Amino acid sequence: MRKLLWVSLLALLLQASCIQANHSDDSTEEHRDAQDDTTKETPKETSAETDETEQPPKREKTTEIEEEQGIMVLHINNFDRALSETRHLMVEFYAPWCGYCRRFEPIYAEAAGMLKEEGSEMRLAKVDAIEEKELAEEFNVDSFPTVKLFMNGDRKEPIEYTGKRTPSGIVQWLKRRSGPGAADLNSADSAAEFINTHNVSVVGFFDNLESEAAAVFKEVAFDLTDVEFAVTASPEVFKEYEVTANKVVLFKKFDDGRADFELSEEDKLDKHNLTNFIKENSLELIVPFNQETSDKIFTSRVRLHCLLFINSTVESQMSLLEESKTVAREFKGKVLYILIDMTTAVSHVLNYFGVLEKDSPTVRMINMDTQKKFKIEVVDDTAEPYLRSEEIPEDWDKGPVKVLVAKNFETVAMDPTKNVFVEFYAPWCGHCKELAPIWEQLGEIYADHDDIIIAKMDATANEVESVAIDGFPTLKYFPAGDKEVISYTGNRDLETLSKFLDNGGVLPQEESDEDDDDEDEADKDKAQTDEREDADNQSKVCSAASLFSPSLELDSLFFLYLRGQTILQRNQQTTHPKMSFDNSSN
């Protein structure tokens, strides 16, 4: 108990020092952080189809509604009919060339199939926003895919989709939106039945169900579809649960049993604060790491995580959990405590944190913002960062591409007399495999250059404190003379990579159109081409977040601890009004 308390205090101090120490690293990673913006493909810059693409003959547009994979195909002539015939109509506005739309297509189709199997009247539809410019403009479509829900034929105020990007997430969100959102509890018996039925339930106690606070509560209920909501204005229910004023109560079948959220003195309810309250209190004080909780863990606003590695078959180790809850309760909201049961499929988690089965029980800390992790050993009040490294291969420098590991990285990459171009890769990454032969050719071209080294490092088995990796492959250029590290953001073809090296770490400039009369049109075409190339490059990055899918094996979820937490948070919390996907499996 005393040790865990000390660890938590130490972790808070480490968090502050890590954030300060990493400010200098942020500038070299700006292109990775900009993925939030580049994952959106804007029609203003990319709407034109290339003249070289041969278009199939267009069908005549009528009011008839055709279907593809159970999805209604809509356009300007049949959109009204679809609205009038379908009470709850979800519409995806897509671009045919958009990679994120293509990845979303099977997810959307599976959701349509699930609704059809259930005999639901709710329907899914899609609109080619490039072809149907009038509809795209009417509904303010400025990124792809954009998904909106039209209810009761109302085309004036469609609802932006804010659910998860999974088939079940889409269906669950639709069902919540098609109903009242929150059940009405009018008696103590109905309240007891509701609360006892669910592991976690949230009840809004309001003396007026038409109040502003009650309306905000229902908005939150529509967004958080993995929690059950109810409201009550019944004095009987107020009395039964000892509620004397308007408030929100979260009931749970673990830990303290309930958590109360007080309204402001003006009886105001803040949507953001209530959402955070529900998310935090829906988790156990010590959260078991599994498929169901992983999403909530990774999207938690608490960025300092303490992982307890325990063998659940050993009674003495399990007893430590109850003792640890006292500390977890004290640091609630500052540190998120997570249970890693070493008897489950978490081998990759063990490898990543440097834990052997014989080490249990043991503790590791990780700062999700800085991605620094710590192996806690309380010896003379010290704690050191834990960085993994493979052993240096005997033939690491024999081939045209030098093999780096954490143990020889600083010596090679930071050599002030060399210009070192490093690929940080993951063995499972398809895009890394595509780059491999090109990278090998690049090494052969510059093998005779004494001042240029082409190298690679398995970033899933080796970690360097000075380099942050958000996706794979990541290419970084370490120039001679202790100059600032350059993040490579260009195309990954041999010609461009070679020009980048020949220019001393500067991407080659595109040739400009010398015809003044056609300059504007040329710039427009170039912008469209560049945007597509940029989107294509972004799609050729395997991020940690891209591994998260319902079918993923649990032990692979450890990669979410590696990188891409900002990406995952955006995709799973869906706080942005538009849907832009980069979390499909590659």
Active site residues: 98, 101, 429, 432
What are φ and ψ of residue 366, in 5° steps? -145, 135
3-class DSSP state of 131: coil
Amino acid residing at 98: C
Could you tell me whether strands 146-151 and 88-94 are parallel, antiparallel, or unpaired per DSSP bridges? antiparallel
Sign, CA torsion 573/579/580/584: positive
CA angle 6, 290, 323 (to 5 degrees): 30
3-class DSSP state of 397: coil
Residue 358 structure tokens: 């014989």
Instruction: For residues 317 and 341, give the distance between their C-alpha atoms in angstroms, rounded to a whole number.
Output: 11
**Three-state secondary structure readout of 518-539:** HHHHHHHHHHHHHHHHHHHHHH
CA angle 465, 496, 546 (to 5 degrees): 50
- Rounded alpha-carbon distances, angstroms, from residue 343 to 59, 70, 291, 352, 548: 58, 42, 15, 16, 22
- Which residue carries 């041999």 as its tokens? 494
Instruction: For residues 480 and 488, give the distance between their C-alpha atoms in angstroms, rounded to a whole number.
Output: 16
Question: What contacts 240, CB < 8 A, 6 or more positions away?
Answer: 188, 191, 192
CB 67 within 8 A of CB 116: no
Residue 548 structure tokens: 């998260």
CA angle 155, 98, 139 (to 5 degrees): 15
- Which residue carries 């959106």 as its tokens? 40
Which residues share a beta bridge with 306? Answer: 337, 365
Which residues share a beta bridge with 196? Answer: none
3-class DSSP state of 150: strand
Which residues share a beta bridge with 362? Answer: 309
- Which residue carries 């609205």 as its tokens? 83
Amino acid residing at 267: D
What are φ and ψ of residue 436, in 5° steps? -50, -50
CB 311 within 8 A of CB 343: yes
The closest of 486, 456, 485, 484 to 472, measured between CA atoms, is 456
Instruction: For residues 163 and 171, give the distance between their C-alpha atoms in angstroms, rounded to a whole number.
Output: 9
3-class DSSP state of 68: strand
Amino acid residing at 510: E
Q: What is the CB neighbour count within 10 angstroms for residue 461? A: 15
* Burial of residue 234, with CB atoms counted within 10 A of its CB: 0-12 exposed, 13-18 middle, 19 or more buried: middle
